[in-house]
Every structure is written in structure tokens, then in C-alpha cells.
């Protein structure tokens, strides 16, 4: 059997036609596709504003800046995430800290957050922004976090990079609870533009600030200018922004992909359910489900149950890779990275994230995965767990 990756993009003829049409058009960047993609993404997520940017790392950075994060600010996130969830605060000169995860959902624990906030209030070290991560596509405990945000006065920047189209308490992720949400369109994610990101928010001022920072902090409309323009050529720089724009090629691809989001979700959900059944008898902890939320199933991550299986994770991983199965591990806890250790973090600080990581394995999951391939993954895994 050919190599089976843990994730693979689905690009069809409509996607190719959409990108080709842009190549033949007048605008390769700053044309009509990007605002259309924003409007359609906002509509699909039931949110007032969506701002497209070059990738989700930049989206997190700009959203932090738009929330006023800077030197002296404190930002907390989940250690069980990709590096960007924490790096975005460091880009702004802020101080980063972590909140340990819930062992079942693998998302930031709302009770650990509540506990850490009580302590921070006593010490006068409350955070300005908290970044929960919808790990594997399962929305975080956003309602509990909203209540804490209102009580302690921080803003919620949801890293929904895994969670395009996921739902929480009957609403699409990105539409409620968080002050802003960030989505990734990297090739391995739910919807892809090769590289790309989006910030969604119900707050017009926040959306406007991200738009400003996306393009050099520059405005071109007279109504927005601080000074009376000398002529129609005048543009004004009002903040220190960046070039974080999405190209027309990417936006056209995103629009085309977004049309298939319901089908792609249905495939992922069916495969996840199939894994749940096929893996039930193995010494594994399967992903948690919660009745009040729908995962987008970016990842199907299992945890080898050490109490029932003595085979080291590294051996299981290698056995699957040797069989041409592209398992992966999500995530090495951010605070254990050398760079973060140099900032003073130590292994042992966030034990639930570390315990999960030690036994974690992400199995192949993408819309085009066939039942036969999935059976092959399960059979190979079952054998590896016995070895």
C-alpha cells in the first residue's frame, strides 16, 4: 500500500479552475477575491467580520496587537498546541504563561484556568489575553472561559486553527464567546489556501485594527485620515503595520474549498466514528466527544494507555512509519522547547499536557482516506500494540 499521510489536502477540478481563472484575471493580489472569501467565510461562521491574512501565525500576531498586547502584557495559552499559539505574544514583547490541559478533552482546562486566575489576582499578575486552542477541532470550554474573562477582565483570543466549521452550543466556532478567533488554511488543515489565515470577530473596532495592521498600518480613504489630504494620491500611515495580505490565488482557492466544507466535515466525522468503533478493543484512549459541541475532526489523536500496554510510544510510532503509515505526534508541550526553557520554563510544570504528549499518536484522517486504508492503519496499530 502507498504511503498514507496523517493529513492530506483535497484539491478538485473546481479548485484548479478557480485558481486558474485568477491567473488569467487582472488582479493577482488586492482584487475582488479576498473580500469575497472574507464575506463567505463570515457567513459560514455566523460572524460579522472576517479578515483574511497570509497565515494563522500572522493572524494570531495581529489579533494580539489589535487587543493591545505589548511589553508588560501577560498572555496565557495551552501548552498542548503548535508553537505559534505562544510565539504570537512574544512577537509583541509580552510575557507568556501556560494553563494545563484537561486530560480528556486535551484542551485548556477551565478549572485550571480559574485556579490560576485566583492566584494571579492575589499577586497582581492577571493576564490581558488568554488563548485557548480548539485542539484537534474540538471547541474549548468557551462558555466557562467567557464567564472568567468577564470577571477578571481579560480578552479571549481563540486559536481555532483546527476548528474551521466546528460548532459549540449550537453556534459555529468563531461567532460567539471569544473576542476574536483565528483559523488556519495551511495545507494540512480543514480548508486550505496552501498558506493562509483568518481572524473573525463581532467587534468592528477589532476587525478594523487587524485590517489596518495587515497592510502597513496604512489608510487610503479620506474619511479615515488624520490630516486633510493634499490630493487623491495621499495615503496615511497611522500605525506600524505589516504586509500580511492574502493573495487572490489563495482567496479563490479558499472560496472554492469552503463550498465543500459540509461534505469534507461529513467525511471526517464518518471516518472518526469508524475509528471509534474499530479501536474500541485496543489499549488506547480515543478522542473525547462532548454532547454540546461538534468537532471539525482535524486530527484523530489517540493516547496509548500505559496501564494496559507496555509498548513504548516510540516503538508503536516506528512500526507504523515502517508500514508506510504517516502517524504524527501533536503536540510536544510548548514550554519544554529549548527556547521556552531559556525563558525559565521547566518540564513538570504542566503535567497533564506532558502525560498526554508522552503517549500521544495522531492517526491518518483526511476526507479522501478510504475504508481500506483505515482498516490497514487499525490492523497495523493493533499488531504494534501487542509487540
Ligand X SMILES: *Cc1c(COP(=O)(O)O)cnc(C)c1O
Region at 94 (left for phi over 0; alpha for psi -120 to 50; beta for the rest): beta
Q: Which residues sit opposite 96 in a β-bridge? A: 75
Give the shortest CB-257-to-ligand X separation in angstroms: 14
Nearest to 98 by CA among 358, 341, 362, 359: 341
List 189, 268, 313, 335, catalytic entry = 189
Q: What three-state secondary structure class fits 43?
A: helix
Give the nearer residue to ligand X in terms of CB position, either 9 or 161. Answer: 161
Q: How far apart are the first and last CA of the chain?
A: 22
Give the nearer residue to ligand X in terms of CB position, either 85 or 200. Answer: 85
Distances in Å between the Cα of 237 and the Cα atoms of 66, 219, 242, 247, 310 are 16, 7, 11, 22, 61
Give the shortest CB-142-to-ligand X separation in angstroms: 15
Judge whether 116 counts as a catalytic residue: no
Give the nearer residue to ligand X in terms of CB position, either 162 or 285. Answer: 162
Q: Round to whole Å and give the CA distance between 151 and 114.
A: 10
Q: Round to whole Å and give the CA distance between 156 and 179.
A: 5
Give the shortest CB-183-to-ligand X separation in angstroms: 8
Q: Round to whole Å and give the CA distance between 152 and 69.
A: 16
Give the shortest CB-60-to-ligand X separation in angstroms: 6
Give the shortest CB-334-to-ligand X separation in angstroms: 10
Give the shortest CB-23-to-ligand X separation in angstroms: 23
DSSP 8-state secondary structure symbol assigned to residue 336 = G
Q: What is the largest CA-CA distance in the chain?
A: 77
Instruction: Find out whether 137 and 111 touch, Cβ atoms under 8 Å.
Output: no
Please provide the size of the chain in residues.
387
Kindly list the residues in this chain that would bind ligand X in the complex (CB under 6 A): 55-57, 81-82, 84-85, 133, 159, 161-162, 184, 186, 197
Q: Round to whole Å and give the CA distance between 131 and 47.
A: 19
Give the nearer residue to ligand X in terms of CB position, either 299 or 309. Answer: 299
Q: What three-state secondary structure class fits 297?
A: coil
Task: Please classify residue 29 by burial: count the beta carbons closer than 10 Å to its beta carbon, then call 0-12 exposed, 13-18 middle and 19+ buried.
Answer: middle
Give the nearer residue to ligand X in terms of CB position, either 192 or 380. Answer: 192
Give the nearer residue to ligand X in terms of CB position, either 207 or 244. Answer: 244
Give the nearer residue to ligand X in terms of CB position, either 194 or 358. Answer: 194
Distances in Å between the Cα of 5 and the Cα atoms of 172, 321, 373 are 28, 10, 11
CB-closest chain residue to ligand X: 56
Q: Round to whole Å and give the CA distance between 338 and 340.
A: 5
CA 132 to chain CA centroid, nearest Å: 10
Q: Pairing relation of β-strands 236-237 and 360-363?
A: unpaired
Give the shortest CB-250-to-ligand X separation in angstroms: 11
Give the nearer residue to ligand X in terms of CB position, either 186 or 268. Answer: 186
Give the shortest CB-177-to-ligand X separation in angstroms: 17
Q: Round to whole Å and give the CA distance between 56 and 88.
A: 10
Using only C-alpha atoms, what is the Rg of the chain? Answer: 22
Active centre residues (catalytic): 189
Amino acid at each position: 500500500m502507498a504511503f498514507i499521510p496523517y493529513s492530506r489536502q483535497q484539491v478538485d477540478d473546481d479548485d484548479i479552475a478557480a485558481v486558474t481563472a485568477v491567473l488569467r484575471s487582472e488582479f493577482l493580489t488586492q482584487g475582488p477575491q479576498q473580500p469575497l472569501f472574507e464575506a463567505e467565510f463570515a457567513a459560514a461562521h455566523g460572524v460579522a467580520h472576517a479578515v483574511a491574512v497570509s497565515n494563522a501565525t500572522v493572524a494570531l500576531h495581529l489579533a494580539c496587537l489589535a487587543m493591545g498586547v505589548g511589553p508588560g502584557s501577560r498572555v496565557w495559552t495551552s501548552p498542548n498546541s503548535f508553537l505559534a499559539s505562544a510565539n504570537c505574544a512574544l512577537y509583541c514583547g509580552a510575557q507568556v504563561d501556560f494553563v494545563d490541559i484537561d486530560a480528556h478533552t486535551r484542551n485548556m482546562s477551565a478549572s485550571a484556568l480559574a485556579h490560576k486566575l485566583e492566584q494571579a489576582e492575589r499577586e497582581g499578575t492577571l493576564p490581558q489575553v488568554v488563548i485557548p486552542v480548539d485542539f484537534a477541532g474540538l471547541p474549548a470550554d468557551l462558555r466557562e472561559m467567557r464567564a472568567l474573562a468577564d470577571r477578571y477582565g481579560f480578552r479571549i483570543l481563540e486559536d481555532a486553527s483546527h476548528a474551521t466549521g466546528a460548532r459549540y452550543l449550537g453556534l459555529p466556532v468563531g461567532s460567539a464567546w471569544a473576542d476574536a478567533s483565528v483559523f488556519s488554511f495551511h495545507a494540512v488543515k480543514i480548508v486550505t489556501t496552501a498558506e493562509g489565515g483568518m481572524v473573525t470577530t463581532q467587534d468592528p473596532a477589532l476587525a478594523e485594527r487587524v485590517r489596518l495592521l495587515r497592510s502597513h498600518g496604512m489608510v487610503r480613504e479620506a474619511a479615515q485620515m488624520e490630516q486633510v489630504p493634499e490630493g487623491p494620491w495621499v495615503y496615511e500611515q497611522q500605525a506600524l503595520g505589516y504586509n500580511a495580505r492574502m493573495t487572490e490565488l489563495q482567496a479563490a482557492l479558499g472560496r472554492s474549498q469552503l463550498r465543500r466544507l459540509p461534505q469534507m466535515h461529513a467525511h471526517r466525522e464518518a471516518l472518526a466514528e469508524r475509528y471509534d468503533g474499530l479501536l474500541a478493543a485496543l489499549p488506547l484512549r480515543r478522542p473525547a466527544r462532548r454532547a454540546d459541541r461538534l468537532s471539525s475532526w482535524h486530527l484523530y489523536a489517540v493516547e496509548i494507555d500505559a496501564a494496559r500496554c507496555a509498548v513504548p510510544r516510540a516503538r508503536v510510532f516506528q512500526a507504523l512509519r515502517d508500514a508506510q503509515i504517516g502517524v504524527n505526534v501533536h503536540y510536544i508541550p510548548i514550554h519544554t522547547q529549548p527556547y521556552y526553557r531559556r525563558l525559565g520554563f521547566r518540564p513538570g510544570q504542566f503535567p497533564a499536557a506532558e502525560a498526554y504528549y508522552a503517549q500521544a499518536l495522531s492517526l491518518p484522517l483526511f476526507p479522501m482516506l478510504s475504508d481500506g486504508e483505515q482498516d490497514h492503519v487499525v490492523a497495523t496499530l493493533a499488531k504494534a500494540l501487542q509487540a
